[in-house]
Homo-oligomer: A and B are copies of this chain.
Amino acid sequence: MLAFESALARAQAEEGLIPEASARAIAAACESIRIDEERLVAEGKRSATLAVPLVQMLRAEVARHAKDAAAHVHLGATSQDVLDTAMALCLKSCLEEADRSLEGAVRGLAAKARGHAATPMMGRTLMQPALPITAGLKIARWALALAHDRERLADAQAAGLAVQLGGPVGALEAFGAKGPAVRHRLAMRLALADAPAWHVHRNAWIDLLDRMAQVVATAGKIALDVALLQQAEVAEMLEAPPREGVGASSSMPHKRNPVGCAHALAAATRMPGLIATVHAAAIAAHERALGGWQAELAVVPEIATQLGTSLDFLDGIAASLVVDAARMKANLAAQGGAASVPSHAADELLAALSPYL
């Protein structure tokens, strides 16, 4: 939020809307201020927005050093401008990390898939043995799904991570004809996309959240597969080699629970409700929502958390997944399956993966 206020003042000074000295004073105060978080929350509740107390605190901080500049804090902006932009900035760094994590997961899984392109295992449908596949095919599918998820997620950021600057009713009325120029400078400074105010038309943003949910679903699917294959009676995969203190039980010391899968499946269980909330919150009245936007603000961090949990799981799987080819063979044989299986299908997937590696 302070990054927004600082960059806004700079952008306004560059467009001649406020004195250069004010911009400097505001930027300095954004560095020096120490926020009393408890007070911020308590006062934010009274106005249903954290922006109101933050701007007050910042004005007070600016006034301590440069009285005249205080009036130039948050000039022409509205609560939603600073909160939405702050949210976009937070998500931006999450998504940079997510991109690296997904890249690593795709590479790690692709390598495992190549190594097992011809390792036969039972293919299962409706939870019953069907026909043999290869372990490489299964893993290559996971990898390709994640590669596509990553690509979609990257695509959605161009429009989805946009600066928010509209002022009270989204019309930038305080800046006259200079509104778009201020907004453009602000966007450049914050390395966000420039776009007209999206206070109540949030689909570019929601598209990004939808695609975060898609990653969580893929991770959930992989976690379900691994957990099923890690069942003692199947024992074809382990999410990781046994490690002291991981997956421990408070009552059964011998257990090794698939905790990575548990985390990923919990995230996948939560995501549909979160995405439903975001879509529901989009039905916003007039020029700023009553209730919907406020609900979305609370839900976006939850969505980012579920994504983070899923990526931790994928990091772990890509690094540590254990494939037990012998057990796969034995299980296949027990069901009368073929002892060898062509790697055609795995090869096709691996070829499709190569542009992403």
- Interface residue ranges, A against B (CB under 8 Å): 43, 45-49, 51-52, 55, 74, 76-79, 82, 123-133, 137-138, 141-142, 144-145, 148-149, 152, 159, 167-173, 176-177, 179-180, 196, 200-201, 203-204, 206-207, 210-211, 213-214, 217-218, 220-221, 223-225, 227-228, 230-234, 245-252, 255-259, 261-277, 279-292, 294-295, 298-299, 331, 334-335, 341-342, 344-345, 348-349, 352
Closest B residue, CB atoms, query A155: B155
- Known A-B contacts A168-B131, A176-B344, A295-B269; the reply to A47 vs B287 at CB < 8 A is no
- Known A-B contacts A286-B225, A287-B124; the reply to A48 vs B196 at CB < 8 A is no
CA distance A271 to B144 in the complex (A): 29
The contact of A126 among B142, B149, B257, B341, by CB within 8 Å, is B257
Contacts of A206 in B (CB 8 A): 214, 217
Contacts of A248 in B (CB 8 A): 46-47, 52
- Known A-B contacts A203-B217, A277-B269; the reply to A223 vs B291 at CB < 8 A is yes
CA distance A79 to B171 in the complex (A): 42
A-B contact pairs, 7 of them (CB 8 A): A47-B249, A126-B290, A128-B256, A137-B171, A213-B279, A217-B279, A221-B284
CA distance A290 to B45 in the complex (A): 30
- Known A-B contacts A128-B232, A130-B287; the reply to A49 vs B250 at CB < 8 A is yes
Contacts of A261 in B (CB 8 A): 127, 290-291
Contacts of A218 in B (CB 8 A): 201, 203, 282
Q: What are the 5 A-B residue pairs with the smallest beta carbon separation, nearest first?
A: A265-B291, A123-B169, A125-B288, A273-B273, A272-B276
Residues A269 and B291 in contact, CB atoms below 8 Å apart:
yes
